[in-house]
């Protein structure tokens, strides 16, 4: 599905918002009690919109080379499904909290950072009801892994933003599958010789299995 990347972002966004709302001290800052948000906008985009909360910015999208050359998936014995494009998504997650007078709030930012770390340490795998958007109701499972990129790479990321550096976290979300729009291929069933017989017979594979 072409909306898989967006759905992965929405899934991370929803899980994090629910965790912040459930936090005893931070819950009053987020809806329905407060005005802070968990946004997919960049940090400078949130500033431009005069928003406080957390920025989850998808700043890099990379193919998973190890899974790229998987063979087609066999559905019924006579049908092959094209393999989806496996992607790894990299996010910069930045608290953008402010005090009552609009000044920076480093203490609250650090509290939010701790809540983010706790959330995805406790729930590093998202599936089932934790999925949102077009991933909802599917059997997909995505992992949310904390990254520690080199400081020069992180500096380059912040250089693209029209904002001073702020304490932030980097997460990789994988594997997100972008499904092919090519029609399924059709062909004869796979044949296998039965033990003790000199002839081949159709071998019926369960859905998703490979010969």
Spatial CA neighbour of 64 closest among 42, 100, 90: 90
Tell me: cis bond preceding 6? Omega within 30 of 0 counts: no
Q: How confident is the model at residue 146 (pLDDT cuts 50, 70, 90)?
A: very high
pTM summary value: 0.80
Spatial CA neighbour of 54 closest among 103, 83, 94, 9: 94
| 58 vs 201, more confident | 58
- What pLDDT, in 10s, does the model give residues 162-206? 889 999 999 999 999 987 665 555 555 555 555 554 554 444 444
CA distances from 186 to 77, 124, 175, 206 (A): 9, 38, 27, 16
CA 16, 18, 21, 23 torsion: positive or negative?
A: negative
Say what angle helices 4-22 and 106-122 make with each other, to 10 degrees.
Answer: 110
- What pLDDT, in 10s, does the model give residues 98-124? 988 788 899 999 999 999 999 999 999
For the chain, the average pLDDT equals: 85
């Amino acid at each position: 599905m072409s909306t898989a990347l967006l759905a992965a972002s929405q899934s991370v966004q929803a899980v994090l918002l629910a965790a912040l709302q459930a936090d005893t001290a931070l819950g009053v800052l987020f809806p329905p009690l407060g005005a802070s948000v968990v946004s997919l906008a960049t940090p400078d985009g949130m500033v431009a919109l005069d928003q406080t909360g957390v920025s989850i910015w998808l700043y890099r999208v990379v193919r998973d080379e190890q899974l790229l050359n998987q063979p087609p998936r066999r559905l019924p014995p006579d049908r092959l499904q094209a393999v989806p494009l496996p992607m790894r998504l990299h996010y910069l997650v930045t608290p953008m909290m402010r005090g009552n007078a609009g000044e920076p709030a480093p203490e609250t930012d650090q509290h939010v950072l701790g809540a983010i770390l706790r959330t995805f340490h406790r729930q590093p795998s998202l599936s089932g009801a934790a999925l949102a958007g077009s991933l909802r109701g599917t059997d997909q499972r995505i992992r949310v892994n904390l990254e520690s990129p080199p400081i020069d790479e992180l500096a380059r990321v912040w250089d693209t933003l029209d904002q001073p550096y702020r304490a932030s976290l980097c997460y990789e979300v994988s594997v997100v599958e972008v499904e092919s729009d090519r029609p399924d291929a059709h062909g004869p069933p796979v044949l296998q010789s039965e033990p003790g017989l000199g002839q081949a017979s159709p071998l019926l594979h369960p859905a998703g299995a490979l010969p």
